[in-house]
Chain A
Amino acid sequence: PALGLFLFTIARDPLRIIILIAGAFFWLVSLLLSSLIWFIAVKASDPRDEPLQKGLLIFGVMFSVLLQEAFRFLYYKLLRKAIEGLVALSEDGCSPISIQQMAYVAGVGFGLMSGAFSMINLLADALGPGTVGIHGDSQLYFLTSAFMTMVLIFLHTFWGILFFHGCEHRRWWEIMAVVVMHLTVSGSTFCNPLYVGSLVPSYLLMAAAAAWAYLLSGGSAQNLRRFLLCK
């Protein structure tokens, strides 16, 4: 799906590509910082203390989520400044790209980078002859990881739209809702290997976020019906 989104909606416009790459980079920096904090915490603590390590991991994940959202906010600020620059540069006093489009592209950028990080090392190990399971893990590890990654990419896209809309119209509860949703999804992965505990809530949240983003972007139920019937 990410490939499809990229090909059809972003690849044509160089400005969108730039925003996409920059968004991906911002997510990457946020991950780097949060992993540095987690790494220091792990090294400073006793590696044999299992509950402590698990607690540190949970703390690391939550901290990472907060940092990612903070970077999303930073990116929003940057893009706001960029729009002023683009308006100054353009011939007709209008920016060639609106903040909503930027929001969508930024979300896809975050999602792509997050998906890449989730999947690349799994794919590298999946190339070998073995599969997960000798220590008792589930065999469906690769499949569920792939589905989880897909839902996260979608979620990042929709959160981008919601977040920027909230910042734009000063609706702090929208921003809080995005942060809470992100925390929920990340926290649900701790239910693994009980995959139903993490995949099902994530997909439900994705549906909710999709609907909300659609409504905010100017869609409505009639439009949806017309689209489906006109097919």
Chain B
Amino acid sequence: GGCRAPLPAWWGLLRGLLLAVLAAVSCQGNSVERKIYIPLNKTAPCVRLLNATHQIGCQSSISGDTGVIHVVEKEEDLNWVLADGPHPPYMILLDGNLFNRRVMLQLKGTSRVSGLAVAIAKPSPPQGFSPGLKCPNDGFGVYSKDYGPQFAHCNKTVWNPVGSGLSYEDFDFPIFLLEDANETQVIKQCYQDHNVPRDGSGPEYPLCAMQLFSHMHAVTSTVTCMRRSSLQSTFSINPEVVCDPLLDYNVWSTLQPINSSGKVDPEKEVIIVATRIDSHSFFWNIAPGAESAVSSFVTHLAAAEALHKVSDVHLLQRNIMFTFFQGETFDYIGSSRMVYDMEKDKFPLRLDNIHSFVELNQVALRNDSILWMHTDPVSRMNESVEVQVRNLLHILSNSSMGASVTLQEAGYSQPLPPSSFQRFLRVRHIPGVVLTDHKTAFQNRYYQSMYDTPENIRMQYPEGLSPEETLEYVTDTAKSLAEVATVVARALYRLAGGANNTSAIQADPKTVSRMLYGFLIKMNNSWFQSIIKPDIKGILGDVPQHYVAVSSPVNTTYLVQYVLANLTGTVVNLTKEECLNPEKTPSSEKEMYEYAWVQGSLDPNSTSRVPYCVRSTVHLSKALSPAFELRQWGSTEYSTWTESRWKEIRARIFLVASKELEIITLVVGIAILIFSLLATYFINAKADVLFSIPRDPGAVAY
């Protein structure tokens, strides 16, 4: 090679440029890490929730919990984990059918289990599965030792007999749900290759292991974690909040517009129609809630649409308020907040304005098309309330004439099922009725669980349909819910003082089936995309879940708001500027209406949409438990549910080596170190012996 001059000056610049280029391009992930770990991506953790006195859920150590995988598919496999296995602690891969209270309490009691991964059971367990309580929201409804003690604590009727209460237990190891059957198969294959005992003796290293990270920051109870969070927020520059209250927004809308910033005249009477829009399951953000939430609010939306089409709406004597409560699963967060706001005059309506209350709860699984009407027997002992309730029941029964829905009374001996109406009854004896498909215990055998899916409400689509066709296909479930909506709409019309013939009031099954598809199967469909604001179209994820989270509003609330606006509002001819700033337009009546600029549907041949302005009476009201407003974190009167914060949640599988191999590696390394130090020292010391020529290289200093 030729002689080169010392490095030229521009070489430094080139080096800097090279480094910048290399830093800017993305790294593909360390390949050694990929040799060791297989990450599990489609999982859902179980997180910690806290209320005034307890913590529920699961916790892992701060650097994850590791354990040797053991697949438990029948009860006998548990013995290996609990007693026989030679390599505790174990990480169990549990078949969904074994995920019940008995097995879980056994695992809770032992220290040989470091975590659990549950594979979702397909098909759903036939005997039913509900991790909720047998008596949901007990203690926060209306029945207590002071009011109807014979009905308190489900003494008379156990509403959820399948309920195991698993969601409300506290586990000190992490529990994850494996949603993807392929990942479950990978884990089982790893187990088969490495962990299965051969010839009666234990399996040999290397063993297949799993690590789960789900460290939760909050402990003990809401009182403790909110106290710590408030201390942090007050005194620290970089506050570390440890838990957040569950909060979201209620959606409400009135048939005749009212001034939402003022107060309604005390003479004006309002009928409240209510449903809940949230659900829960053992795992975080898994809450399909088909029967427990979606069926009822979809019916409610269809009834609202049917009523708005009636011509003499503005002539009705009483107004109707369609209310969608969020957070009802957690001790009635939304409804308790609305009652509190009404009492404290922070809501346009007051409790005096309420004429009656109709609630829809779980209406999809009707037996012989019977819909049951539940009333509160304690308040009916008052004569005036009894008269109004009788009237209400009579109107409801009349409205079902000619429809294929039969309405029957549940009777005096039955208390009210868990419902938002109970919160209103706590403060005022309002005449009201709760409509359900069950007389005593729930028909829903998967109440508040991950199996409360469209299959649970018998929604079936024929094979081979495209997403658009599936959106438009009218299922039998949709038809039956539309019938319920028709009956409810007709009854409300009569209740509100309408005098005309009600046979024209019909709920549209097509709308119902589109809503069912959107809220249960695929949120990201063309109809939903056309009715939402342009800048939130990123929120439409894949599988819809209806959990009231801590960041608000959640997808469900947004969509209920915009669907209600679409079904009950009118399209007005305003430009985007006018629509987004209605106070500047003189005739907009900003207090009465809400204006929303929605992106419109896609032109069939182009990629652009035609947006328009919708005027509706749909409003949001905050659904945060009054306990947090009043800072009474130990309150037994209002819901105090909070969710813990966490840093990272992930899961991965890998092989672990035996302790012997690790020790050998370490010892060999130390031995080579010591030997080389000694050898170098001696060579250095005797260098003049080794290298005889004076002009020598290597280890000698002159």
Contact = CB atoms under 8 A, between A and B. Distances in A.
Nearest to A175: B1
Q: Which of A43, A78, A130, A131 has the most C-beta atoms of chain B within 10 angstroms of its own C-beta?
A: A130
B208 A223 contact: no
B99 interface: no
B691 interface: yes
A79 B692 CA distance: 25
B35 A129 contact: no
B689 A129 contact: no
Given A36-B22, A150-B672, A131 B655 contact: yes
B673 interface: yes
B689 A101 contact: no
Given A130-B37, A223-B690, A218 B656 contact: no
B686 A230 contact: yes
Interface stretch (A2-10, A109-117, A201-209): A2-10
A217 B656 contact: no
B680 A131 contact: no
Interface string B446-462: 00000000000000000
A194 interface: no
A1 B657 contact: no
A140 to B, nearest CB: 8
A129 B680 contact: no
A227 B697 contact: no
Contact of A223 (B653, B681, B692, B699): B692
A214 B689 CA distance: 13
Given A129-B209, A218-B695, A36 B18 contact: yes
Interface string B656-677: 1100010001001100110011
A231 B35 contact: no
Contacts of B211: 129-130
Contacts of A131: 36, 206, 654-657
Q: Which of B15, B657, B681 has the most C-beta atoms of chain A within 10 angstroms of its own C-beta?
A: B657
Nearest to B211: A129
A219 B701 contact: no
Contacts of B574: none
B606 interface: no
Contacts of A81: 6
Interface size class, chain B: 35 or more
Given A70-B1, A129-B66, A100 B35 contact: no
The binding surface of chain B is classed by DSSP as mixed
Contact of A130 (B1, B18, B36, B669): B36
Contacts of A39: 22, 25
Contacts of A5: 676, 680
B689 to A, nearest CB: 5
Nearest to B695: A98
A141 to B, nearest CB: 7
Nearest to A74: B4
B401 interface: no
B209 A121 contact: no
Contacts, number: 150
Q: Which of B18, B652, B690, B697 has the most C-beta atoms of chain A within 10 angstroms of its own C-beta?
A: B697
B682 interface: yes
A83 B684 CA distance: 24
B144 to A, nearest CB: 51
A130 B30 contact: no
Contact of B206 (A3, A125, A139): A139
Interface in A23-53: 29, 32-33, 35-36, 39, 43
A7 B668 CA distance: 21
Contact of B697 (A98, A220, A230): A98
A230 B3 contact: no
Contacts of B672: 1, 150
Contacts of B673: 3-4
A81 B4 CA distance: 11
Contact of B680 (A1, A122, A216): A1
A132 B655 CA distance: 7
B35 A132 contact: yes
Contacts of B15: 29, 32
Q: Which of A4, A141, A150 has the most C-beta atoms of chain B within 10 angstroms of its own C-beta?
A: A4
Interface of A: 1, 3-5, 7-9, 12-13, 29, 32-33, 35-36, 39, 43, 70, 73-74, 77-78, 81, 96, 98, 100-101, 103-104, 121-122, 125, 128-135, 137, 139, 141-143, 146, 150, 161, 214, 216-220, 223-224, 226-227, 230-231
The 5 closest A-B pairs by CB, nearest first: A130-B654, A100-B697, A218-B693, A1-B676, A4-B680
Given A33-B18, A219-B692, 20 more contacts: A1-B676, A4-B679, A8-B677, A29-B15, A32-B22, A36-B18, A73-B1, A77-B3, A77-B4, A81-B6, A98-B695, A100-B698, A104-B699, A122-B32, A125-B32, A130-B656, A137-B35, A219-B690, A219-B691, A227-B686
20 contacts: A7-B677, A8-B681, A9-B680, A33-B18, A36-B18, A39-B25, A96-B702, A100-B697, A101-B697, A121-B32, A130-B37, A134-B35, A134-B36, A134-B655, A150-B672, A217-B697, A218-B696, A223-B689, A224-B690, A226-B689
